[in-house]
Structure formats: C-alpha cells, structure tokens
Amino acid sequence: MSKTKFIFVTGGVASSLGKGIISASVGKLLQARGYSVTIQKLDPYLNIDPGTLNPYEHGECYVTIDGAETDLDLGHYERFLNYPTTQANSVTTGRIYRNVIEKERRGDFLGKTVQIIPHITDEIKRNIKLVSTKEQFDFVITEIGGTVGDIESLPFIEAARQMKWEHEGQCMFVHLTFVPYLAASGELKTKPTQHSVKQLLETGVQPDVLVLRTEKPLSHDIKRKVGLFCNIDSEAVIEARDLDTIYAVPLAMLDEGLDAIILKKFKLKVGETPTLEPWRTFVEKHKNPKQTVQIALVGKYVELSDAYKSIIESFVHAGATLECKVILKMIHSETLTEENVQEQLGDCKGVLVAPGFGSRGVSGKFVAVQYARENNVPFFGICLGMQCAVVEFARNVLGYEQANSTEMNRKTPYPVIDIMEDQKGVLEMGGTMRLGGFPCEIKKRSLTYKIYKTTDIVERHRHRYEFNNKYLEEFEKAGMIATGFNPNTNLVEIMEIPSHPWFVAVQFHPEYRSTVLAPHPLFEAFIGAALAYAKKS
Ligand code: GLN
C-alpha cells in the first residue's frame, strides 16, 4: 500500500451530529498544512446510489463532475476542500454487494462460499483504497455513515478495523459523539459517550481521537474523565461546540488542535499553525454582512432545507463575497397561485425556481416565472426551473396555451421541453440520466458571457428532458434567446431574456460547483442584480 494515511470517522450516540462537517474540517486543516486530501463517504443503505432516492429520504442528491449521483455530504467535502470528488468518493452497501454478486456470477470465487467476511469486507477495503490509486493523496478521510451499533454499518467498521490491523501506523479512528446538557441538574453527561465507545470497542476498534459535540464548554475535568474511561489521552478529547455557521468549524477545530493531534498520532511533524486565510476572511464577511437582500426560492421540498443544500450554500458563498446576507424566503410551489403571488413574492428582490422532477407543484413554478418576467424581478431558473421558464414563455408570450414539457404531459401539442433522444429507450431509473460535467459554449453577446467572462465552461447536469430546438427560432424572435449550447450535441443549456434586467435560466446545476473559495459567478451576479433591483424599487 502507498504512503497514504487513512482516517476513519465514525459516529455514536445520535445521528446528525455533523460527521460530514467534522470530516470536511479535518480535511480542510490538513490541506492548509500542505497535504493533499480527499474525503470519502460510506453509506450503509442498499441503494446503489442515492440517485433513486426522493429528497424527503436523504435530502439533495449531489452530482460529481464524473457523473456520480451521491450523498449530499460530498457537497460539503467539495465546498470545504475546493477540490472535486469522483464516483470513488461515494460508496454504498448496495454498490459493494452488487460488485461481489457480479463476481460470484462470473465464477470469480472458484466455488468458494461467498460471505460477508472476507468477501464483502475485502470489497469494502478495495473501495477505500481505490480513492487514492488514480491520484495519490496524503490523506484519505473515510466517513462511515450511520451510528455505531447499527447492524447496517457493521461490515464497514469491520473492514476499517482490518485495515488498521493490516497497515499499522497508517490508519486512525476519529469518533464523534454527543455530550448532552441536562438543564435540570445543570450538568453535562458523558455516559452516552462512554457507552458508545464501549460499543465501538466491542467491534474491536479503539478510537484514537474523540470529538464531543456539546452546547456548553467542556471542562478539563470532563475531558480527562472521558479520556480515562475510553483509553484516550485527554489531549485527544476534542470539544466541538455548537456554532452559528458550519464554516466556523475548521477554525474551532484548529483552536482545539484536532489536526495537530492527528499528525502527532501519525508521527508526522506538526509544523507551523496555518493562518487559514482566506477562509477566515470569508467567515468574517459571512458573519458581518453590510447589507441584506431577500430572495425567493420556489420549490416543492421547501419544508426540508437539505433538499436544496447546494443552492443554499451557494448563496452563502456568493453572499459573503458581496458582504451581503441573503435571506431565502422558501416558497412552496404548491401553494403559489396567481391570486397570492403578489403577496408571496412582493417582498422578494429576486426569484429562483428550483430543480425538480414530476408535475407536483409545477403550476406554482410557472406563476413564479411569469411574475418575475412581467415585473422585471431578477430571475434565476435552474434545471426544471429553466424548463418552467421556457414553458411559461411559450404559453404566455408565444400564445401556446397548452405548451408543456413532455415530462408533465406526454401528449402536449407544443412539446417545448422534450425527452432527450438518447433517453427514449431508457428503462432503468438508476444512474441513467444525463449526468456530470458537460461543456457549454456561451455566445459573446449575452449576459452570461459578461458574468462568466469566458465562452467555454463546464457545468454539471442531472436531467432527462431538454429544450426542443424545433421552437428555437420562434422563441428568439419573441425575445427569449439561447445563449449557451453544448458544442457536441447542440443542446440548449442557457436561455436569457435580454429585454429583462436579469433573466437567466440554465439547464445545468451551477450550485454543485460553488465552493467557499470559489463562489459561483452566476450566484454572485444574481445577488448583485437583486441588490440593484432593491435599490430601484
Ligand atoms: N425533471 C427534469 C428533467 O429530468 C429536470 C431535472 C432537474 O431539475 N434536475 O429534465
């Protein structure tokens, strides 16, 4: 095995403690010290990938540049590390089993009984090492989904245990737990942590570092006590206090010395403490905005902010650059009607229509587009949002009342959005959309060219339907212009209305590319347009 070091991040006591953010923060800190780092997620469910999951189940499906549909934690990894992840960074139990069963069917096991140990665990180990083969990293951080004690994640923990045994000095376990505060007695309770470490010990894993989520500061005594019960020196018991932004977590972990203790345990030189600039400046700007602006996010999963995670974070990144706090007014598209649109959107300085699938809530999206278009409110449509903008224009400007996307009505006489040619024979739903990064050529005389300052971009996609080029001439004559095309297939990727102050609709998902250190220009420009509109109105 190469010199790569592997850090396994497990969680105990409760779910949703922020393993993803802790993993991303450790990655950020090691990166700031000059190491190359990648972060991987092992998800214990049987779906091959989350692409077939409804956002109510697992929040947003994140898409990598190489077209993998992944858990939303990969979005955090990219936003923190400013470095792309790939298919290898996202592994599910389903994928592991599929690989092993395919091998069995091919006869690769030569008549042996195929078992969880060693065959499944071997396949897990192979997948962990795989992240650092094409491109070698100094550190691979592997976040193990679920909570210790779950039946589902046992094979992952077992595989990681074996790796630590087989590659002495190259692997480490960071375990994240929760220390509840009992208001009635005014005490922090460490028993759940002790139990969760015991549970981990039962699987043969001794954690090297403990990270304790807490709402109150942990005294030295508590750290010592936890350390003593869990066989860990108190220096390696790290406090992770609740913070008002996830982006402050790397700074807090630096102060706590999490990265330094990891390096020491690997017997690597700790060296100088990184300043963590320009990250620090970003956090400062994000926390101390000089202005605010309210923007409507119109979608059908608004009660669940995880469904639009990357979009929400893109506003944070771009907002900080402009020292502007973007207040997102989440509008449920199913509740939006012509009668209440003024009331619902009237106080918003920009309207974003979100991506989505299926016809539920789509009529509210048409209402939102029409409102923004007719009232000169900055409009940003993403994927389904772009398709809604096209349908709305066909209905209300071209006069094709029954225009639609064939996703919503297969028999529409005006299929201005239609299924892509290569999607027509597709029967399997998983991993079969147009996925990942595709090139797009931008026309020079366009708003998007001014924003991107280049004609050649690559953006990520996740869809089956597209603009129907049969209608392009009519659209352009009436004032909606295609300004971005895929140079190889001629698919329309960007639509604009030049007579409108800011109307940009894109078939791709710019939000997957926005990071703390590289906010997306479209989001920045959209917020800028909303601020300009606010000044005028
Ligand atoms: N449902 C639309 C399509 O498949 C849009 C997808 C999306 O918004 N991601 O083309």
Model pLDDT for residues 424-443, shown as the tens digit of each residue: 888 888 888 999 999 999 99
- Is residue 383 within 8 A of residue 370, CB to CB? The reply is no
Report whether pLDDT(52) > 90: no
pLDDT tens readout for residues 455-464: 999 999 999 9
Q: Which residue has the higher pLDDT, 15 or 38?
A: 38
Residue 278: asked if its preceding bond is cis (omega within 30°), the reply is yes
For the segment 63-67, the average pLDDT, to the nearest whole number, is 97
Q: Is the CB of 223 under 6 A from ligand 1?
A: no
Query: What is the share, in percent, of the chain residues with pLDDT greater than 70?
Result: 100
Q: Given a cut of 90, is residue 13 above it in pLDDT?
A: no
Segment 463-504, tens digit of pLDDT: 999 999 999 999 999 999 999 999 999 999 999 999 999 999
Whether the per-residue pLDDT at 524 is higher than 70: the answer is: yes
Q: Nearest residue CA, atom 6 of ligand 1?
A: 463
Choose the catalytic residue: 239, 511, 520, 524.
511
End-to-end CA distance of the chain: 63
Catalytic site residue from 324, 383, 388, 440: 383
Ligand 1 touching residue 407 (CB < 6 A): yes
* Ligand 1 pocket, mutate which of 353, 360, 407 (most atoms under 8 A from CB): 407
Residue 15 has pLDDT above 90, yes or no: no
Are the beta carbons of 353 and 384 closer than 8 angstroms?
yes
The mean predicted confidence, pLDDT, of the chain is 95
Is 175 a pocket residue for ligand 1 (Cβ < 6 Å)? Answer: no
State in Å: Cα 179 to ligand 1 middle. Answer: 42
- Give 127: exposed, middle or buried? Use CB within 10 Å, 0-12, 13-18, 19+: buried
* β-bridge mates for residue 173, sequence order: 8
User: What is the 263 CA–ligand 1 centroid distance (Å)?
Assistant: 44
Question: What distance lies between CA 374 and its chain's CA centroid?
Answer: 33
Distance CA 433, CA 466 (A): 12
| Pairwise CA distance, residues 90 & 73, whole Å | 9
% helix / strand / coil in the chain, to the nearest 5?
Answer: 40, 20, 35
**Strand pairing report for 171-178 and 5-11:** parallel
* 439-473 core/surface letters (b: 16 or more CB in 10 A; e: else): ebebeeebbbbebbeeeebebbbbbbbbbbeebbe
Q: Is 195 a catalytic residue?
A: no
From 310, 408, 463, the mutation candidate for ligand 1 (largest count of ligand atoms within 8 A of CB) is 463
Mean pLDDT score, 353-362: 94
Is the C-beta atom of 465 inside 6 A of ligand 1? yes
Cβ 355 under 6 angstroms from ligand 1: yes
* 463 C-beta closer than 6 A to ligand 1: yes
The phi, psi pair for 404, rounded to 5°, reads: -165, 175
How far is Cα 508 from Cα 511, in angstroms, rounded to an integer? 9
**Range list of β-strands (E), 120-260:** 139-144, 171-178, 181-182, 187-188, 209-214, 237-241
Q: How far is the CA of 356 from the centre of ligand 1 (A)?
A: 6
Peptide bond just before 118 cis, omega within 30 deg:
yes
pLDDT of residue 305 exceeding 80: no
Q: How confident is the model at residue 2 (pLDDT cuts 50, 70, 90)?
A: low
Kindly list the distances between the CA atom of residue 271 and the CA atoms of 169, 246, 264, 321, 372, in Å, as whole numbers in the listed order: 20, 26, 10, 31, 54
SS3 367: helix
Residue 250 has pLDDT above 60, yes or no: yes
pLDDT tens digits for 96-146? 999 999 999 999 999 999 999 999 999 999 999 999 988 899 999 999 999
Distance 411 CA to ligand 1 centre (A): 18
pLDDT greater than 60 at residue 67: yes
**Beta bridge partners of residue 144, listed in sequence order:** 42
The yes-or-no verdict on residue 1 having pLDDT over 60 is: no
How many A from CA of 462 to the centre of ligand 1? 7
Higher pLDDT, 261 or 53: 261
Do strands 37-43 and 90-92 pair parallel, antiparallel, or not at all (unpaired)?
A: parallel
Q: How far apart are CA 143 and CA 132, in angstroms?
A: 15
Are the C-beta atoms of residues 144 and 10 closer than 8 Å to each other? yes
Going from the C-alpha of 346 to that of each of 40, 70, 396, 414, the distances in angstroms are 43, 36, 21, 31
Q: What is the largest CA-CA distance in the chain?
A: 75
Residues 208-237 pLDDT 10s: 999 999 999 999 999 999 999 999 999 999
Helices 19-32, 258-265: inter-axial angle, 10-degree rounding:
70
With a CB cutoff of 8 Å and minimum separation 6, the contacts of 250 are 24, 25, 28, 29, 32, 80, 276, 279
In three-state secondary structure terms, 270 is: coil
What separation in angstroms does the CA of 252 have from each of 21, 83, 520?
12, 22, 26
462 lines ligand 1 (CB under 6 A): yes
Mutate to test the pocket of ligand 1, among 300, 333, 387, 419 (most ligand atoms within 8 A of CB): 387
Please state the atom number of ligand 1 nearest to the C-alpha of residue 465. 10
- Residues near 257 by Cβ (< 8 Å), separated by ≥ 6? 235, 238
Q: Indicate if ligand 1 lies below 6 Å from the C-beta of 464.
A: yes
* Residue 9, CA distances (Å) to 50, 78, 461, 522 in order: 21, 17, 30, 34
- pLDDT score, position 53: 86
- Sequence-distant (6+) residues with CB within 8 A of 471 are 394, 398, 414, 416
Q: Identify whether the C-beta of residue 262 lies closer than 8 Å to the C-beta of residue 209.
A: yes
E strands present in 365-506: 379-382, 403-405, 414-419, 434-442, 456-463, 465-467, 481-485, 492-496, 503-506
213: Cβ below 6 Å to ligand 1? no
**383 tagged catalytic:** yes
Q: Please report the atom of ligand 1 found closest to the CA of residue 355.
A: 8
d(CA 153, CA 75): 22
pTM: 0.96
Q: How confident is the model at residue 302 (pLDDT cuts 50, 70, 90)?
A: confident
DSSP-derived 3-state class of residue 466: strand
For residue 424, the CA-to-ligand 1 centroid distance in Å is 15
- Is any ligand 1 atom within 6 A of the Cβ of residue 447? no
Q: 427: CA distance to ligand 1 center in Å? A: 17
Q: What is the DSSP letter of 455?
A: S
Specify the amino acid at residue 290.
Answer: K
Strands 171-178 and 209-214: parallel
Sign of torsion, CA 390 391 397 400? positive
SS (H, E, C) 507-527: CCCHHHHCCCCCCCHHHHHHH
